[in-house]
Structures are given as structure tokens and as C-alpha cells.
Structure 1
Amino acid sequence: MALPDFLVIGAPKAATTALHAALARHPALFLSAVKEPKHFLTDGPPPTRGGPGDAQTFREHVWRRDDYEALFDAAPPGTLKGESTPFYLYDRGAQLRIRAAIPDARLIVVLRDPVERAHSNWTHLWSAGLEPVGDVVRACAEEERRIAAGWSAFWHYVALGRYGEQLRHLYGLFPRDNVLVFRYRDLVDEPLKTLDRICGFLGVERGVISEVPRENVTAHPERTLRHQALSRVIRAGAAVGRHLPGPLAGRLTESLEGALQDNGRPRRPLSWEQRQALIPRFEEDIALLQEVTGEDFGDWLRPRERSGGLMGDRPPGQRQARNGRPRLP
């Protein structure tokens, strides 16, 4: 069976795409060409309905076992095979499926300040014209309703950042020696040291990869009447696209999305007032995370992490266009 030996399992918006690209440069590692196959998120076909744009995301699931194994068929003999789906940490069912299929898997977890992660997640969808709420605090207040309505995990801005609950469940399934946990900031501040730590965890030669590629930052459109009008059309197009073939569904909104992001500014940091409004949603879980890991995450309760990082805020399923603008596939 061509199943992976290791997985980067979380968290979304914590540079997992950049980490995947960095690890793929190591000659002893083979990373799937499909960065985020999402195989273990379901037992069979993914849902067909959800929030705005979810139908396109569900089409990306490599849910058939044969198709998933085929992702690793080209791995040279002796290399370790891996993939990166940052929702596996959040999804308890996915954790159980991984345990059943690959009980000895090595799991890599990247944790980002949960408030900053939620804001980056919201910006990602806002810049795509998919998020109808123009304020991250109000969008987070919509979360329970959206979950009840079946919106996909990427809309779960708060729940995705409750790492204490997620790791407690994971440690009940896998030995701690099989799980490597580190911070997003480790990749930003000390990429060589962090990559060597990952290589040591995987048992491959250190010092071979030293850089984590940066991602282009998606523009953050202003909340204008034009943005509102274009976003409504994009969301309507996403709903219609649910009934169209994948490539055609992507082309339906591509030009509109480009127009939406033209002349937009990079993601702006949260204000302290916004951060104060969101921190209480994570306080209890941060305490649990400290108990589960034995590490101090108290800085996440203070004003904010400094700006700057490795990755942008690119809407789901996007790839980079020739002109540097993100676009839907």
C-alpha cells in the first residue's frame, strides 16, 4: 500500500502550505503533488452542500482510496511519503481514520495564535468575496449558526483554533513521540532550526533544507458598495457552480474575483479592541492547551503577535495567476 508515513495535520492559516513546499525539497522526503488531499476527512464522498464556495472545495477531496494511494506511487524507494491537510487536527473523525489506516504515522502540528489565525482565516474568505460579514468579530459570532447549517470547517474561525481540545483527543490516539508540535512563529523566526527539528523528528538528514518559501499576500478589499456588489455576484456564482463541472465553475467567478482584489491593500492587523473581543473565546482552551502540552501560551492572551510572516491570505482552492493575482482553479 502506498500510504503516507507522515502528515502535516494543522492548523489552517499556519504556514502549512509553505512548510509542505519546504519539505518537498528534501531528497529523502516525498510530498504529494496535491498538497491538501483531505482524504481522511470523510469515510466516502464529501458533502455536496455547505457555505459559499464549499461545493468547489468538496470537489477537491481525494476521497477514493485508490486515488489517494496513487498520490504516492511515484515516491522513490526509501523515501518517506507525506501529505499536508491542515484540517486533520480539527476533525476528530479524521484523527480516528488516520489511526485506523496508519497507526504508526508521524504527525506534524503547527500552532498559530488562535485570534490571529481566526483573523487570517476570515480575511482569506473576505478577500475572495465569499464571506458576507465585513467584520471578523461579527463573523465569529455567526459560527454556531453556520456549523448547524453544514458550512465546511474552514468557516469555523473559532473552533479551528481550539488546539487544547484537538491535541487532547489526538494524544488519546497516538503516542506523544509520534506527534511534533511547534509554533508558527518558530518557522518565521528560526526556519533553519525548525526545519532541522522536523527532519530530526522524521529521521532524515538535517541541514539539507534551510528556507521556508514565502507566500504572496492576497489583497484585502475595502468594505465599499462595489465590494458588496461584486461579492454578492461571486457568492451567487458559487451557488450556481455547485451544479457545473469543476473547471467551468471556477471560470465563472474568476474575472469577478480579480476585479474584487484589484488595488486592495494587504491584510491589516487586528485592533486591540477586536482582539479583546475575541480572546475570551479562546481563554479556557488556551489553559487546556498549556495543561496538555506543559508549555506556556500566555502570550496569546496579550495584545497581539507582531506583524509579518510566511504566508498570505489566499481564498480556498486558489492558485497563483501569472500576473501575481490569486485566482480560483
Structure 2
Amino acid sequence: MIKKPNFIIAGFPKCGTTSLFAYLETHPEIFIPQRKEMNFFSYPIIKNLTGGEGDKVIVGTQVSTWEQYMSYYRSVKNEKAIGDASPSYINFPDCFSYIKEKLDNPKIIILLRDPIKRSYSNYLHLYRVGREKLDFNSALLEEENRIEKKYSPMWYYKRHSTYYDKVIEAQKAFRDVLLLTQEEMNKNPGGILKQVFEFLEVDSSFVPPNLDVMYNKGGVYKKNRITNLFLKQSKTKHFLSQNVSLIKKLKPLKDKILSSFEVAPPPLDKQSEDFLIKHFKEDVKKLHKLGVNTSNWNQNYFIE
């Protein structure tokens, strides 16, 4: 009988979930499929959100059936902790009941990040792959219109950087919820990983051999035929991306080539920053009262 996941990295996107995933998969007592972001439990929602450029291509690659989902766990052996890293889940609390129906009561890990930085990182990702054509401030103003047009969640720069209500919903739905921040993990990866291992009830003395590596750092590249070849999304690329072993083999070459075209990302403009400070202020204050470590976030959230 195939064992089911008993923990989930449930969110938030662009908050260090790729790094956490990469560290956890090195632990001998943890099994996590090489494929990240299967998004099975949020699929019934996101399958209908395809209004933006490139959305249909990505939705078409998501795990859509229980049989397909469980096939990723066939090689589980005696590992104590079995995981699913799909950071879309936290943004759709409606899928929590589906998770509980199928997995009972898995442990939930939630990573947060200064919401302004998460918003801008999300924007830069879509800008980098050629889907986002607007400047950041214009994109923020266009967000509600995009939501009405059923763009995919990847375009929700503000909405998916508002954490408090979703965290509360997760705490109500699940017994064991661990809240961390990307800033804490960047500053003290060893200490945070020890905390995660204790939460998952695996050997907490284990030190991941890749702990000095920060994954999915993002970046912006000069636009030319070579960078377009690597970054522009297509059905063929997304089909190939499901071959995880192939992608892992090709990634060092891809990173080496792209690094020669890397340029500094455009700085966050003051108008957008001021707008977002005001937008996120109350949410951040509530998170702080909840016990989230906001000491490394923009302190202007707390200025009246």
C-alpha cells in the first residue's frame, strides 16, 4: 500500500519554499517527491483561472487526479516524514477540507516573507519570463481587473502577499502548523532546519549538505534570443519540465549560460513601496501579534 503524505509545505509562493524543499529532500528520514508544486489539492480551483498570458500552459501541467498524485509516492520506503511541497495551497483555504479528507491531518509548514518583497519577487518572475508587460506600479493597479478576468494566482501580487487570514484558517483546520519566515531561514538556516526537523519528528542533528546554497534566487536577464530560449514558457518546455531528472541534469548548464546575461533588477520604486506599506500595514501588525518574527521586515509598517 502506498503511503500518503503526512506533511505539507503549504506556502507562501516566493517565500523560500524551494530552498526548504531542497534541504528537506537530503534528509534520510524524509521523503518528498522530486517534483515540487504538484498543486493537486488546489487544482479544482486553479484549473478555472487561465485568463492571463501563459496560464493555460501551466495549468495543463498540474497534477489533476488522485491516482496521478499518489504515483509520486510509490518509492516511499521507511521514511518517517512524507511531504508535498505545493505553496499554492495556503492561498486557497477552501482546499483545506479536501486535504483533510484525503490525508487526514498532515503537519503544515508555512513560510512567510516581507510582503512587499514577496510581491515584487512575484512580479519580477513574470517579467523575467516575458509574461508581465506592465511596470510594477501599473501591475499593482491592474490586479483587481486581472482577478475579475480570472487570471491565474501567479498574477496576484498584493492578494497573495496578505497572509494573516489564511494563516488563521490553516491553524483552525490543522492541528500542527509551523510558521517560519524566509528572512529567518536566510539568516540562520541551520537553526531553522533543526526546528523543522523537530517539528517533523525526524533526526534533528542532521545537517543538509547543501545548506549554504540559496535556491530559486530569481534574477533579471538581458532580453535576447538566448535568454528567451531558456525563459520564455511554452507547452513543450512545460511538458519536459515534468521529467525532473532531466531538468536537474540540465540546470547547471542553464544557470551558467543565464548568469552571463544577468543584470541588476530594476529597484522597487518609491511610489509602489509607499502604496504597499499602507496596503499591508494592518495585516503585518496582526501577524506580529500572532508571534511571527517581523524584525527583518520593513519597519515602516509599524509607523503611524
Same fold by TM (over 0.5)? yes
Partner of 1:75: 76
1:297 aligns with 2:298: no
Secondary structure, aligned partner of 2:10? strand
Partner of 2:144: 144
Distance 1:170-1:246 versus aligned 2 partners, 3 A rule: closer
Partner of 1:182: 180
Distance 1:33-1:263 versus aligned 2 partners, 3 A rule: closer
Q: Read off the aligned partner of 1:90 and give its amino acid letter.
A: N
| Cα distance in structure 1, aligned partners of 2:45 and 2:269 | 42
Deviations 1:281-327 (A, max 9, x none): 21122233234x234637644369xxxxxxxxxxxxxxxxxxxxxxx
Deviation at 1:272, TM superposition (A): 4.3
Aligned partner of 2:195 among 194, 197, 201: 197
Deviations 1:73-94 (A, max 9, x none): 1011243210211111111222
TM-score (norm 2): 0.82
Report how many aligned residue pairs link the two structures.
284
Q: Read off the aligned partner of 2:131 and give its amino acid letter.
A: L
Distance 1:260-1:136 versus aligned 2 partners, 3 A rule: farther
| Cα distance in structure 2, aligned partners of 1:126 and 1:261 | 17
Secondary structure, aligned partner of 1:17? helix
| Cα distance in structure 1, aligned partners of 2:132 and 2:121 | 12
Secondary structure, aligned partner of 2:101? helix
Deviations 1:129-166 (A, max 9, x none): 10010x22221111111111111111101111111011
Secondary structure, aligned partner of 1:7? strand
Deviation at 1:117, TM superposition (A): 0.4
Q: Read off the aligned partner of 1:302 and give its amino acid letter.
A: Q
Partner of 1:155: 155
Distance 1:272-1:100 versus aligned 2 partners, 3 A rule: same
CA contact 1:21–1:212 (8 Å) conserved in 2: no
CA contact 1:37–1:85 (8 Å) conserved in 2: yes
Q: Read off the aligned partner of 2:76 and give its amino acid letter.
A: A
Deviations 1:159-190 (A, max 9, x none): 11111011121122112xx0000110111010
CA contact 1:219–1:262 (8 Å) conserved in 2: no
Partner of 1:88: 89
Secondary structure, aligned partner of 1:76? coil
Partner of 1:12: 13
Secondary structure, aligned partner of 2:83? strand
| Cα distance in structure 2, aligned partners of 1:44 and 1:277 | 29
Secondary structure, aligned partner of 2:263? coil
Partner of 2:264: 266
Q: Read off the aligned partner of 1:146 and give its amino acid letter.
A: R
Deviation at 1:71, TM superposition (A): 0.6
CA RMSD of the aligned region, Å?
3.3
Secondary structure, aligned partner of 1:63? coil
| Cα distance in structure 2, aligned partners of 1:167 and 1:219 | 28
Distance 1:184-1:245 versus aligned 2 partners, 3 A rule: closer
Deviation at 1:220, TM superposition (A): 1.9
Q: Any stretches of 5+ residues in structure 2 without a counterpart?
A: 243-254
Partner of 2:128: 127
| Cα distance in structure 2, aligned partners of 1:171 and 1:201 | 15
Q: Read off the aligned partner of 1:115 and give its amino acid letter.
A: I
| Cα distance in structure 1, aligned partners of 2:278 and 2:261 | 35
CA contact 2:7–2:83 (8 Å) conserved in 1: yes
Partner of 2:170: 170
Q: Any stretches of 5+ residues in structure 1 without a counterpart?
A: 251-257, 305-329
CA contact 1:16–1:110 (8 Å) conserved in 2: yes
Secondary structure, aligned partner of 1:125? helix
Distance 1:45-1:89 versus aligned 2 partners, 3 A rule: closer
Q: Which one is further off, 38-47 or 180-189?
A: 38-47
Distance 1:130-1:46 versus aligned 2 partners, 3 A rule: same
CA contact 2:49–2:151 (8 Å) conserved in 1: no
Q: Which one is further off, 71-80 or 178-187?
A: 71-80
